[in-house]
Amino acid sequence: MSFRPLLAGLLLALPLTAVAESPNIEPGQWEFTSTTSVQGDLPIPDQTETHQECIAQGDIDDEEFSFIEEEEGCELLEHAVTVDGLDYRMICRAEGGEANIVGRMDFLGERVEGNVDILVDSPAGQINMTTSMEGQRIGDC
């Protein structure tokens, strides 16, 4: 699974807000790992996924470069990008349920790290999910 459609498409891709400089991300081959934990009445074990992808300098310089994937039924409520990170808040609605999503990603040159907190209100009840993610540049593409 690609890092960009993280969380099974709950996230929304929109162009990054223009910043004075490109995000602090070194181009190259990257390895991303995300771990999702679910809190609630259902005993759901943590799920960890790892994958690799190439990020080129042209991707980073592109104003539409984003780590967030577009998904139908989602609305971006807040979106702030700086050289050092990305903060966003959104809501997704589907099948009688609603997910409130708050995310933060820090750009650290050859590393990225972040968290996404998701509160799901569904006919089956409320579910809290937290995904921690990290990425590391592992070499050239």
Question: 26-39 pLDDT, tens per residue?
Answer: 999 999 999 999 98
Which carries the bigger pLDDT value, residue 58 or residue 11? 58
Q: What's the DSSP call for residue 17? A: P
The pTM of the full predicted model, rounded to 2 decimals, is 0.76
Q: Rounded to an integer, what distance in angstroms lies between the CA atom of residue 97 and that of residue 113?
A: 29
Residue 7 neighbours by CB distance under 10 Å: 21
Q: Are 86 and 21 in contact (CB under 8 A)?
A: no
Q: Which amino acid is at 2?
A: S
Cβ-Cβ contacts under 8 Å for 70 (sequence gap 6 or more): 12, 13, 14
In terms of average pLDDT, the best of 5-9, 57-61, 128-132 is: 128-132
The pLDDT of residue 65: 66
Residue tagged 């903060």 (tokens): 87
